[in-house]
Chain A
Amino acid sequence: MGDAPLRVRGLTVSYGASPAVFSADMTVAPGAMTAIIGPNGAGKSTLLKAVLGIVPRVSGQIEVFGAALERQRARIAYVPQRASVDWDFPTRVIDVVEMGLYRRVGLIGRLTRQHRATAGDCLARVGMSDFATRQIGQLSGGQQQRVFLARALAQGADLYMLDEPFAGVDAATEKAIIDVLKSLKDEGRTILAVHHDLSTVPDYFDRVFVINKSPVAEGTVAQAFTQDTLQQAYGGRLATGLLDQLFPATPAAAAPAFPARPS
């Protein structure tokens, strides 16, 4: 247990001239659910993608379970943003889930009955068994997100990285996904998710990593998810009503009934 699932040192990522993530340090605690939060354009997704080698980094060191990323690929699962792919692609739900088996099946190995059973189990775990042979474009947004989660489950990883898994999904899907993530946590696996909805952070997550290009705070929800750190990261962009709802100890004058969700 000595090696953190993920340790990032001095990570800088740049799109063009200005850095999207600047000098980020991060240590992900094992067996916990950590949310990466921050305002739009704060580099949350970029941080995740740079850690995974999807976008190139200018500088920085990444250690996964105490070793180089390339040696630990098999221990990482990734759920990209749903909007990042073309859902009109000619593929069925079960084919997508089987993509998660790639490292186990290999380049030209055959899918055995056991592999297929694993893929079916993963689909069942997200409540999508009935949709196995559907073309993925016929699914609702929430169902597509669950298929992506099932694919990650098929990877059988120890560290799950998710990019906004709750973005634009229905309430039933949100519940289904959080249940799966919590069951993964109960199995001792580590979860790291870019998360947008501040109001659910204390319910869903154990730890937070607050970032606005550079890290602002890191720790348990009690330590790092405070009015102070949020204001530091979001500045004026945070609806005052939301802060009041999150931290009722400091009541303010007129709080709107619903928090304005950053879009």
Chain B
Amino acid sequence: MGAEFVALSLPPILIGSLAALACALPGNFLLLRRQALIGDAISHVVLPGIVVGFLLTGTVSTWPMLLGAAAAALVAVGAIQLIQRIGRIEPGAAMGVVFTTLFAAGVLLLEQSDTSNVHLDVQHALYGNLESLIWIDATGWQSLLDPEALAWMPPELIRMALVCLIVMAFIGLLWRPLAISTFDEGFARTLGIPATLLGLALVTVSAIAAVAAFDAVGSIIVIAMFICPPATARLMTDRLAVQVALSAVFALVSAVVGYVLAGYGPIWLGYADAVSAAGMIATVSGLLLAAAALVGPRRRGQSA
């Protein structure tokens, strides 16, 4: 089991867990600020950006794609403002229209462009290529200590770990101002907390997490992880710090259990093929939320 597990299952599980964590942690604050759909939005908007980045450079390297994603996010924000002003459409609907349109445009671009020789297609955009993130050079657990083998780890792993660190550092260092300004923005300003800047920083960090996770695991996980683990955690506690900690636990549980179920569940049930890990991870996170909604101690109407 050792060698095969380290080479084939460990990297995807780690990458999936890191991606889940990177999205779920800022998701707590977005959810409480009623901005939870921003994760959804970003992960849709980045598709055309990534495709354009690819078309302009002809490679699937990270930087052009990330820059393309960032540019697409800017275009989206501008378009939302424009539609709200000119079309007199409420903000939520304007968001929905812009993100769906941009995602659809991304799909069209993908179809029309010659991306057949690279792993850039609609399926990839939706549920990523988690299973293909393998570590061929690994021969067993001892490879974790072998610098030569380590050099051939999937680059997504390093990138996702880095992004996860950025997210955790941001939330850890700015915990107090984030909590205060999320609860009571006006009061936060009177304390001298730059609330607008902090809100922008939160959205930016969320965008970094969304783009990195999108690249590694596809948009389904991104959308699910921004909302499901925080929402589940909210139903379990009335304390912000506990909620954030629990959301991390639920994100990790979803990633690990989802990956294992996708890989082995169908076989246990007698089917031949594994199912999409991204789909299963997102499904597990949704089931956790459903369970918490049914029996969680802090459902609406439940008192302490």
Q: Give chain A's interface residues, CB within 8 Å of chain B.
A: 49, 52-54, 70, 73, 76, 78, 80, 84-86, 89-92, 95-96, 99, 102-103, 105, 107-108, 134-135, 138, 151
* A contact residues around B240 at 8 Å (CB): 89-91, 95
8 contacts across the A-B interface (CB closer than 8 A): A53-B189, A84-B184, A90-B239, A91-B179, A91-B240, A102-B176, A102-B180, A108-B173
Asked whether A107 lies within 8 Å of B177 as measured between CB atoms, the reply is: yes
Also in contact, A52 and B189, with CB within 8 A (given A92-B238, A95-B240, A107-B173): yes
* A contact residues around B182 at 8 Å (CB): 89
Taking A86-B183, A105-B176 as known contacts, 19 extra A-B pairs with beta carbons closer than 8 A to each other, sorted by chain A number, are A52-B186, A52-B189, A53-B189, A54-B186, A54-B190, A78-B187, A80-B184, A80-B186, A84-B186, A89-B182, A89-B240, A90-B238, A96-B183, A99-B179, A102-B180, A107-B174, A107-B176, A107-B177, A135-B238
The CB with the most chain B CB atoms within 10 A, among A70, A102, A105, is that of: A102
Map CB proximity to A onto B220-264 as digits: 1 under 8 Å, 0 otherwise. 000000000000001001111011000000000000000000000
Nearest to A53 among chain B residues (CB) is: B189
Residues facing A in B171-210 (CB within 8 A) are 173-177, 179-180, 182-184, 186-187, 189-193
* A contact residues around B173 at 8 Å (CB): 107-108
Also in contact, A135 and B183, with CB within 8 A (given A95-B240, A102-B176): no
CA A53 to CA B187, docked complex, whole Å: 10
Also in contact, A89 and B186, with CB within 8 A (given A70-B192, A102-B176): no
CA A78 to CA B176, docked complex, whole Å: 18
Interchain pairs with CB closer than 8 A, number: 76
Map CB proximity to A onto B282-302 as digits: 1 under 8 Å, 0 otherwise. 000000000000000010000
CA A134 to CA B303, docked complex, whole Å: 10
CA A91 to CA B298, docked complex, whole Å: 12
Q: Give chain B's interface residues, CB within 8 Å of chain A.
A: 32, 173-177, 179-180, 182-184, 186-187, 189-193, 234, 237-240, 242-243, 298, 303-304
Asked whether A95 lies within 8 Å of B176 as measured between CB atoms, the reply is: no
CB within 8 A of A76: which of B180, B184, B190? B190
CA A86 to CA B238, docked complex, whole Å: 13
Nearest to B33 among chain A residues (CB) is: A86
CA A65 to CA B157, docked complex, whole Å: 55
* B contact residues around A80 at 8 Å (CB): 184, 186-187
Asked whether A85 lies within 8 Å of B177 as measured between CB atoms, the reply is: no
The CB with the most chain A CB atoms within 10 A, among B174, B190, B243, B304, is that of: B190
CA A107 to CA B175, docked complex, whole Å: 8
* B contact residues around A53 at 8 Å (CB): 189-190
Asked whether A85 lies within 8 Å of B184 as measured between CB atoms, the reply is: yes
Asked whether B304 lies within 8 Å of A99 as measured between CB atoms, the reply is: no
* A contact residues around B176 at 8 Å (CB): 102, 105, 107-108
Also in contact, A90 and B234, with CB within 8 A (given A102-B191, A103-B191, A105-B176): yes
Question: How far does the Cβ of A253 sit from chain B's closest Cβ, in whole Å?
Answer: 45
CA A70 to CA B177, docked complex, whole Å: 17
| Main secondary structure on B side of the interface with A | helix
Question: How far does the Cβ of B277 sit from chain A's closest Cβ, in whole Å?
Answer: 31
* B contact residues around A107 at 8 Å (CB): 173-174, 176-177
* A contact residues around B192 at 8 Å (CB): 70, 73, 103
* B contact residues around A85 at 8 Å (CB): 183-184
CA A138 to CA B298, docked complex, whole Å: 12
CB within 8 A of A78: which of B179, B190, B242, B243? B190
Question: How far does the Cβ of B30 sit from chain A's closest Cβ, in whole Å?
Answer: 14
Also in contact, A91 and B189, with CB within 8 A (given A105-B176, A134-B304): no
Asked whether A135 lies within 8 Å of B190 as measured between CB atoms, the reply is: no
CA A167 to CA B192, docked complex, whole Å: 26
Nearest to A138 among chain B residues (CB) is: B303
Also in contact, A89 and B190, with CB within 8 A (given A134-B304, A138-B304): no
Question: How far does the Cβ of A177 sit from chain B's closest Cβ, in whole Å?
Answer: 17
The CB with the most chain A CB atoms within 10 A, among B177, B187, B189, is that of: B187
* A contact residues around B191 at 8 Å (CB): 73, 102-103
CA A163 to CA B242, docked complex, whole Å: 31
* A contact residues around B193 at 8 Å (CB): 102
Question: How far does the Cβ of B172 sit from chain A's closest Cβ, in whole Å?
Answer: 8
CB within 8 A of A89: which of B32, B187, B303? B32
Asked whether A95 lies within 8 Å of B239 as measured between CB atoms, the reply is: yes
CA A92 to CA B176, docked complex, whole Å: 15
Asked whether B180 lies within 8 Å of A99 as measured between CB atoms, the reply is: yes
* A contact residues around B32 at 8 Å (CB): 86, 89-90
CA A263 to CA B191, docked complex, whole Å: 30
